[in-house]
Amino acid sequence: MRSSLPKVAWIGLGIMGSPMSENLIKAGYDVTGHTLEQDKLDRLTAAGGTAAASVAEAVRDADVVVTMVPAFPQVEAVAYGPDGILDSARAGTLLIDMSSITPQTSIDLARAAKEKGIRVLDAPVSGGEAGAAEAVLSIMVGGEQADFDEAQPLFEALGRTIVLCGPHGSGQTVKAANQLIVAVNIQACAEAVVFLEKSGVDLGAALEVLNGGLAGSTVLTRKKDNFLNRDFEPGFRIDLHHKDMGIVTDAARTVGAALPVGAVVAQLVASLRAQGDGGLDHSALLRAVERLSGARL
């Protein structure tokens, strides 16, 4: 019996895209995916999805197309490129871009897609790999109310907090603010960890009690074990947070908003990346604080 749920094409099966697409499959969606890595396609088919050899093949019969790729060059490549989404998807298709890109890129994509009869939502997420796997992401959306309402059941298979933030580009603006808050929070946690350890305090006990009070946060809850074990296996890479800090600082400059602390943290993220740690989880900001405090890493 054919599912009454819309047929989904999923483009981008990385750290976030793979578990998110699998959650749609678990929710009963027919998902056809495309990505550049064969092992990720194999993972999708093992989960019950269908692998496509190209973007065009994936989107041709889809009702909804979801993109989850690293940055705006990849979004533009899969949307505008030869045999891309705008040339291959049917008129009336809903394109949901869940990548984290500049607000202006989302606005431009929505405008170009409209000329093809394709509707667009920008819907970046927060919650990292764990949030993606557990389907508890926060999803911040920009676009039209009717398109948001249509996409709501799909979003509910992926996340817990789902909010329409305004017109096209608004989701990306809120995501930029999210990345600012997360980076500053991780940096503060990293500094606290080094301070506590150098003071001879039991770090596990200290982080437990701190997380139970006003200093507590989702960042500390999610990253506490990373700090304790120096485990920087990427859930969200420094490379990507570096990209996001560029987005928020540029966007803030455009609207005339001062980000004094954010600017410093953006430089610290950039410095860590320049030292060769771009592939590590963003909790590796702890390594930068340790270096500044005299540790030999």
CATH number, domain of 36, equals 3.40.50.720
Residues 123 and 71 grouped into a single domain: yes
- Asked whether residue 80 is domain-assigned, the answer is yes
Residue among 36, 28, 88, 27 nearest 62 (CA): 88
81, pLDDT greater than 90: no
**What is the distance between the alpha carbons of residues 31 and 23, in angstroms, rounded to a whole number?**
10
**What is the distance between the alpha carbons of residues 199 and 187, in angstroms, rounded to a whole number?**
18
Which run of H or E residues covers position 96? strand 94-97
Average pLDDT over residues 197-226: 97
- Asked whether residue 104 is domain-assigned, the answer is yes
- pLDDT the model gives residue 296: 73
Residues 157 and 181 grouped into a single domain: no
Which run of H or E residues covers position 33? strand 31-34
Distance of CA 213 to the CA centre of its chain: 28
**What is the distance between the alpha carbons of residues 289 and 292, in angstroms, rounded to a whole number?**
5
Q: Which string of DSSP letters, residue by residue, matches 120-139?
A: EEE--EESHHHHHHHT-EEE
Per-residue model confidence as pLDDT tens digits over 10-57: 999 999 999 999 999 999 999 999 999 999 999 999 999 999 999 999
Catalytic residue, chosen from 40, 175, 224, 243, is 175
1, pLDDT greater than 70: no
Q: Torsion angle of alpha carbons 224, 136, 10, 111, nearest 10°? A: -100
CATH number, domain of 279, equals 1.10.1040.10
For the beta carbon of residue 171, count every other beta carbon within 10 angstroms: 30
- Asked whether residue 239 is domain-assigned, the answer is yes
**What is the distance between the alpha carbons of residues 84 and 274, in angstroms, rounded to a whole number?**
33
**What is the distance between the alpha carbons of residues 136 and 130, in angstroms, rounded to a whole number?**
8
Give the chain's domain count.
2
297, pLDDT greater than 90: no
Residues 34 and 155 grouped into a single domain: yes
- Asked whether residue 297 is domain-assigned, the answer is no
Of 3-7, 90-94, 112-116, 140-144, where does mean pLDDT reach its minimum?
3-7
223 is an active site residue: no
Residues 227 and 272 grouped into a single domain: yes
- pLDDT the model gives residue 104: 94
Residues 49 and 120 grouped into a single domain: yes
Residues 224 and 258 grouped into a single domain: yes
φ, ψ for residue 94 (rounded to 5)? -100, 120
- pLDDT the model gives residue 180: 98
Quickly state the pLDDT bin for 2 (edges 50, 70, 90). Answer: very low
Determine the length of the chain. Answer: 297
Q: Torsion angle of alpha carbons 85, 88, 93, 98, nearest 10°? A: -10
Residues 200 and 106 grouped into a single domain: no
28: exposed, middle or buried (C-beta count within 10 Å: 0-12, 13-18, 19+)?
A: exposed
Residues 265 and 182 grouped into a single domain: yes
Residues 224 and 105 grouped into a single domain: no
Per-residue model confidence as pLDDT tens digits over 251-292: 999 999 999 999 999 999 999 999 999 999 999 999 999 999
Structural domain harbouring 270: 173-292
Task: Share the mean pLDDT of the chain.
Answer: 96
- Asked whether residue 189 is domain-assigned, the answer is yes
